[in-house]
Amino acid sequence: MKTTRTRRLVAAALLFTLALATGLGRAADPATALGTGLLPSWNDGNTKQAIMHFVQRVTTPGGNDFVPPAERIAVFDNDGCLWAEQPAYFQALFVFDSIKALAPQHPEWRTQEPFASVLKGDVKAALAGGEKALLEMVMATHAGMSTGEFEQVVRDWLATARHPTTGKPFTEMVYQPMLELLAYLRVNGFKTFIVSGGGIEFMRPWAEQVYGIPPEQVIGSSIKTRFELRDGKPVLVRLPEINFIDDKAGKPVGIQQHIGRRPIAAFGNSDGDLQMLQWTTAGSGARFALLVHHTDAAREWAYDRSSSIGKLDQALEAARSAGWTVVDMKNDWKTIYPD
């Protein structure tokens, strides 16, 4: 009997191993086993239930809505969805800081707009030049160096820069409930991607450590690069030329280019995510779309239809008519940032 029992135990453990290795066990077990113990920073209610119900549908083997693990693709916007975006996109703050840091090498910037205004601390005046001024500032701070050098610049900035109102490092202004959601999806066999209008190489240096999302699962806007041999050593040089804008109608294009199959779940917070959510939900089978609505002026910021940053207007209408899930940040989230 004891030998039989031992064999059974070992067989069970090996079966479990096999299930884990194939991804099937990972897909089905944790969601049901851990139940509502998951997503601890989400208040119980319709939003949390909608998320968990969807995950259960697509991970239940034999169910009508079962989706094989390889097809469990989930895409997340970054600014305003995974981390905060007020009072300005954090990458814009990086641009302004970089201009200040680079100013000693550019004496001409003291009199040349939009740089002169940035150096005087007048961001509003700098941005008065519109898209052309913005592009000039982006190129002055993002191009003209190798990919390795730019990665280091981003890392150095994040190590010391602090948010103007919270005083926190920017990588600590990520949303705790969304971190839990990313982990919850992954434990259920999903592959999680970022699909952001932000710079792809601005996000990659920290996305793996902060979100658990490796660089190959980060999609974003980019400038062109060129391969060169410098003293026999290969480098990729960042050029002052737009390669791709991963925003609005660009998001489905970026998704197809990088992932090559349609996601089954999409998470955003602004009109820039509308087409990504349309593209995701237009596929056959079970689909999930969610918008984070910034409703919490006390713990974060409250903004939507009239905000110049993270404007949420058309996508909110679309969510209402399509029945997409909308997070009411104030009521759905127990906490905003990690402790």
Residues in 26-65 that interact with a copy of itself by CB under 8 A: 26
One residue of 77, 201, 247, 304 binding a copy of itself per CB under 8 A: 201
CA distance 151 to 297: 34
Site for a copy of itself contains 190 (CB under 8 A):
no
Site for a copy of itself contains 234 (CB under 8 A):
yes
Contact of 245 with 221, CB cutoff 8 Å: yes
One residue of 196, 225, 269, 325 binding a copy of itself per CB under 8 A: 225
The CA-atom distances, in angstroms, between 338 and each of 96, 101, 169, 191, 212 are 27, 30, 12, 23, 15
Backbone angles phi, psi at 83, to 5 degrees: -135, 170
Site for a copy of itself contains 158 (CB under 8 A):
no
The distance of closest approach from Cβ of residue 26 to a copy of itself in the complex, given in angstroms and rounded to an integer, is: 8
One residue of 101, 135, 242, 249 binding a copy of itself per CB under 8 A: 249
Residue 130: left if φ>0, alpha if ψ -120 to 50, beta else—which one? left
Cis (ω within 30 of 0) for the bond into 30?
no
Site for a copy of itself contains 167 (CB under 8 A):
no
CA distance 294 to 303: 6
The distance of closest approach from Cβ of residue 333 to a copy of itself in the complex, given in angstroms and rounded to an integer, is: 29
With contacts defined by CB under 8 A, name the span among 83-91, 153-161, 276-284, 324-332 that binds a copy of itself: 276-284
Please, what is the Cα angle at 183 between 332 and 264, to 5 degrees? 80
Tokens of 336: 């905003």
Residues that bind a copy of itself in the complex, under the rule CB under 8 A: 2, 5-6, 9-10, 13-14, 16-17, 20-21, 26, 70, 73, 147, 191, 200-201, 204, 208, 214-218, 222, 225-227, 229, 233-234, 236, 243, 249-250, 252-253, 256-261, 275, 278-279, 282
